[in-house]
Amino acid sequence: MPHDHDDHHHDNELDPMAARVRALETILTEKGLIDPQAIDVIVDTYETKVGPRNGAKVVAKAWSDPEYADWLKRDATAAIESLSYTGRQGEHMQAVFNTPDTHNLVVCTLCSCYPWSVLGLPPVWYKSPPYRSKAVIDPRGVLVEFDVILPETTRIRVWDSTAELRYLVVPMRPEGSEGLSEEQLARLVTRDSMIGTGLALAPEAA
């Protein structure tokens, strides 16, 4: 049966972990234990609703409210929780602020620890061995691969996320964003900019 053969062929193109997840999902679906549509809703929620929009709102508030920015620097866990963004893999947070002198980059060298409740689902590349190793060895080279070209005078600081502590990069507020509301500012914040592999968008690009 050609259709079944094609499905099998596509499954072989998945990485081992994705293939195992696909097989487990198929078994649980066949047993009536899960609803694939419900899973799709959960995934969409983490990808587009829970995060990274939550993190973007945190950054926007830090940009527009100096007192909140100071709180975020001192106790990111409490500051983020005050906006009701807490939960799975986001209980203990530290915010690191980009400046003209220092650019922050987040990686998890051991696995793929990531603040789901703030940034949503981790991108595939974040979990890949090449990113996890090169981010530590050659962070400037990694940024170039993401089209982030920084002055040679800008220091790049790499933060290793762990099961105990996860990081949120607060990108620099872009020029020309003065006078924008927090909602408008949040649209300038991308997921990559909160990992450190990107910059905030210019107002005209949002």
Q: What residues are annotated to the active site?
A: 108, 111-113
Confidence of residue 1 (pLDDT cuts 50, 70, 90): very low
DSSP letters of the chain?
-HHHHHHHHHHHTS-HHHHHHHHHHHHHHHTTS--HHHHHHHHHIIIIIITTHHHHHHHHHHHH-HHHHHHHHH-HHHHHHTTT---TT-SSEEEEE--SSEEEEEE-SSS----HHHH-SPPGGGGSHHHHHHHHH-HHHHHHHTT----TTSEEEEEE--SS-EEEEEPPPPTT-TT--HHHHHTT--HHHHHTSS-PPPGGG-
This prediction's pTM: 0.77
pLDDT at position 43 over 90:
no
Q: Quick check: 26 pLDDT over 70? A: yes
- The CATH class given to the 51-205 domain equals alpha beta
Q: Where are the domains of the chain?
A: 10-48, 51-205
